[in-house]
Amino acid sequence: MVTKTNGKRVAIVQSNYIPWKGYFDMIASVDEFILYDDVQFTKNDWRNRNKIKTSTGAQWLTIPVFHSITDRIKDVKISQSNWNVKHWKTLQHNYKKAAAFADTCDFLGDLYARAKYCYISEINYFFIYEISRFLGIDTKISWASDYSYEGDKSMRVLSLCKAAKGDTYLSGSSAQSYLDLELFKSEAISIEWMDYACYRTYHQLHGDFDHRVSIVDLILHTGKSAPDFMKHAKHDNQDKIMSLQCQ
């Protein structure tokens, strides 16, 4: 399990709309989480949509956007101004019987009421930042565009990591197939891989348990206890990130 060390650990990930709990565990595992939103926007991906549970199965919540194949994520604009109202109504309808709905509906309802941004990247940052704080995660969240960096593919990620003064790069396991490990080694930057195994379950509405849905599912079901069902949670009001055991 990943735990924070004395050096600076950095993650570099494209922003997602109301991501799943694993995304927030990665945020909790690093000192700086960099939103990699100056890369190409990909259609039918997690940038502007995510899944929730409903009585008829998993359902996508999608923010409608204008985009072309050359647009960067940070340049993609919203195409429907009342998307937030529709999404919140959908969440209310499907989660009104969730155990912590009464305790968390004001928090989430307020987020949706305030999410009046023009760009998908801004919306994603807003939800990621506010939900992180709700979960007790105080990691610095920045933008790739805050830094000057160069190169292509692995070199680009390495350059960004160096610009942020990171000495450890935390990555999702899928990057093992394309990341140039020797390049990082030559620059004395270590690589660690995020582990998403062994999450605890909780009482979840609508059929068989599904770990891969949006974080809002966990919040609406467990409220302030949500960190206890994640891999990393703060305990005893200390800054140390503790790893939960597989159960």
Reduced 3-state DSSP string for the chain: CCCCCCCCEEEEECCCCCCEHHHHHHHHCCCEEEECCCCECCCCCCCCEEEEEECCEEEEEECCEECCCCCEHHHCEECCCCHHHHHHHHHHHHHCCCCCHHHHHHHHHHHHHHCCCCEHHHHHHHHHHHHHHHCCCCCEEEEHHHCCCCCCCHHHHHHHHHHCCCCEEEECHHHHHCCCHHHHHHCCCEEEECCCCCCCCCCCCCCCCCCCCEHHHHHHHHHHHHHHHCCEEECCCCCCEEECCCC
Cα-to-chain-centroid distance, residue 186:
30
Residue 212 above 80 pLDDT? yes
Q: Looking at the domain assignment, is residue 246 inside a domain?
A: no
Q: Looking at the domain assignment, is residue 247 inside a domain?
A: no
Domain that holds residue 49: 9-241
Residue 29 above 50 pLDDT? yes
Q: Looking at the domain assignment, is residue 38 inside a domain?
A: yes
Q: Looking at the domain assignment, is residue 154 inside a domain?
A: yes
The predicted-structure confidence for 107-130, as pLDDT tens digits, reads as follows 999 999 999 999 999 999 999 999
The predicted-structure confidence for 93-105, as pLDDT tens digits, reads as follows 999 999 999 999 9
Q: How many domains does the chain have?
A: 1
Q: Encoding tokens for residue 23?
A: 């995304």
Residue 243's pLDDT is 33
Residue 247 above 50 pLDDT? no
Query: Where residue 1 falls among pLDDT bands split at 50, 70, 90?
Result: very low
Stretch 148-163: mean pLDDT: 94
Considering only 1-10, 74-83, 99-108, 232-241, which range has the smallest mean pLDDT? 232-241
Q: Looking at the domain assignment, is residue 207 inside a domain?
A: yes
